[in-house]
Structure 1
């Protein structure tokens, strides 16, 4: 859940007093599914797949709020492997191949990376540099990107710098400076079809670009995501509001049902399944790892995938993923 939504809810409920009452215990300890990203090494897992494989046919581990490592327990969604893109580098080495980037418009017509009001000690140039370095060293891979304008100007969110160019214009300027990095069809505003792997090796594929309140910037990214808004849509499960610890069970079921739908669904479409969620009464780490005796989504996912009924996982957008969970998703390919 966006940090601004969490903070607005906190203000309505009564602020600091409620926070003291609601502060929960720590999530379950790290295990093979959770907070053990560094145990996975999958730098070249796409290299051995056929060029003819559609991206839609793949099972891809991804991260939700990829760069969110600062701001406290209600804001952090990933293990911290360093600022200025260090965390992204660690994720790519582990095998993560779809990322979720949230950008604020900064002075000089630039993007800085935020989760709500919290600057994540990284800029969009850091993101692109780390992607370029990784894909240059591992040209058999591709990385999908969901880019979202983060700032709404509301309480708990950030505010874009005044007097700057529009969000899409700034993005276009980044692309113009690194034209070889992006798969052109995904950034030239032509509503690209889902590509085969061979067409995008060594490239970044823009899957979708969303505005600050969830609407899609028309024609950027893949045509199949034309209705990707804030939350779930035709090919996206993103029920991010987990109102309390007990509701983690509901979130697990939503993820499971979408996995089943993906496995049996349209083979020509990419399905994106967000495993994370939060609210004032449930931190991202608790939803992912579990708390108060309630199983988290990450250990549930590893157990469910190990049962063998899922043959295509689509893209799983994870909070605090563990090495064994990443390895399992990749093994489905």
Structure 2
């Protein structure tokens, strides 16, 4: 019997646990686009007061697991909502090449900046904070690194934010459509903001996999520090590490780099080691015995950011960030003082028509789309951050899921504002508007089968469909 129990414990301790999680992503395909999420943030907000998703070793997509930190291109990261880049350069004759340690990353700084400039021209509400670090000694007979970087800054002078003080923190309005350099190299020229001015957590060396918990403790401690202080100096929190562990393992806790891979076991079980690694998950439980599995910093951070007391994280720089992590960082900005609170109209991406209560709003009236976006009367809404209600501006009516039923194709109507969940909505960075009722996640959608008296489609709730233009909406003021 004792041998059987011991055998069971050993098998549980080594059992993998399936771990598909949206906070970690190791595939080449696009994530959900969050191309204009900064448009909802007030102009006067200091950029260091914004919670910003970023990537560590942004361009390191090549070679094997030991040097690979990302799978998405620069443009894919920008489209996904990443607004902090970690760019490491080497001066090679008249050019600047991207490197990870001694490894050439098959990309030039000119190419990175061209891609970033194009994105910002298309999405002028956004800004990109770009750490620039000299990674390797110069290989040049002409320009040295300082001369070379200054040449590129002049080359892209229309894109780089210009300042006369390296300690000045700009407001978002000053840098929309611009790249802000976080300067991590020696130069006599005043350019951007000093990288060292930020409060930075970058505990990057791990001697074995079990050091992952210490890394997580460093990440968590910095999240707590940033949230408590929220100073203008700014915070950068790297979720990444390597050394004797692969970067994908640190990010995911997985047995392999695959997005769908299982978690690796720590080799410990409960209840014998119930006080060990308290933030790591207990998995594969059987007759009261559970495996203690590793968990990646991406997942642990995403989960920590869901706490009700978390309102700010600063810059969160990750390897292989998934859209759940990106979204959670961005969503921290949905708070008073940061997000715009002016009344606005809401336009559907597919039909280019606006929310309206035709003929004037009244109780139980269906919400519909009006192709004539005049942005007056019952086309104007105000989002109440505290109650999470979408109120018809200047009235006592709010958007309401009829009869408080979280069902497929349930109509959305006007109803007197109250505290029910069926009047609570989340305006998401992927341009969806989701109901906060419990149960299946459903979002505002267009119902072509239920028309108003003018022959226009009405609004309903349907199952969340990321990337579908029917579920994507834009605010305009």
TM range (shorter): 0.7 to 0.9
Deviation at 1:271, TM superposition (A): 0.4
Instruction: Sort the Cα spacing of 1:27 and 1:136 in 2 relative to 1 into closer, same or farther, 3 A.
Output: farther
What TM-score comes out, normalization by structure 1 length? 0.79
265, 282, 289: which one pairs with 2:252?
289
What CA deviation, in whole Å up to 9, does each residue of 1:287-318 have, x standing for no partner? 11114231110111111111222210100011
Where 2:96 maps in the other structure, the secondary structure is: strand
Instruction: Sort the Cα spacing of 1:264 and 1:324 in 2 relative to 1 into closer, same or farther, 3 A.
Output: same
205, 208, 223: which one pairs with 1:259?
223
Instruction: Sort the Cα spacing of 1:123 and 1:27 in 2 relative to 1 into closer, same or farther, 3 A.
Output: farther
Correspondence 1:228-307 to 2 at 5 A: 235-279=199-243, 281-291=244-254, 292-293=264-265, 294-307=294-307
In structure 1, stretches of 5+ residues that fail to align are 1-25, 82-86, 153-159, 229-233
Number of residue pairs matched?
Answer: 279
* Counterpart contact for 2:31–2:76, Cα < 8 Å: no
Of Structure 1 and Structure 2, which has the larger fraction of its residues in strand?
A: 2
Q: 2:4 aligns to what? A: none
Structure number with bigger Rg: 2
Deviation at 1:219, TM superposition (A): 4.5
Deviation at 1:217, TM superposition (A): 7.3
What TM-score comes out, normalization by structure 2 length? 0.56
Separation (CA, whole Å) in 1 of partners of 2:59 and 2:112 = 9
Q: 1:210 aligns to what? A: 185
Q: 1:222 aligns to what? A: 193
RMSD: 2.1
Q: 1:176 aligns to what? A: 154
32, 55, 66: which one pairs with 2:22?
32
Where 1:179 maps in the other structure, the secondary structure is: coil
Q: 1:157 aligns to what? A: none
In structure 2, stretches of 5+ residues that fail to align are 1-15, 255-263, 266-293, 334-477
Instruction: Sort the Cα spacing of 1:27 and 1:172 in 2 relative to 1 into closer, same or farther, 3 A.
Output: farther
- Is the counterpart of residue 60 in structure 1 residue 42 in structure 2? no
Separation (CA, whole Å) in 2 of partners of 1:105 and 1:245 = 35
What CA deviation, in whole Å up to 9, does each residue of 1:268-298 have, x standing for no partner? 121011110000x201111111142311101
Say which structure, 1 or 2, has more relative contact order (CA 8 Å, 6+ apart): 1
* Counterpart contact for 1:96–1:326, Cα < 8 Å: yes
Deviation at 1:113, TM superposition (A): 0.9
Q: 2:83 aligns to what? A: 97
Of Structure 1 and Structure 2, which has the larger fraction of its residues in helix?
A: 1
Q: 1:308 aligns to what? A: 308
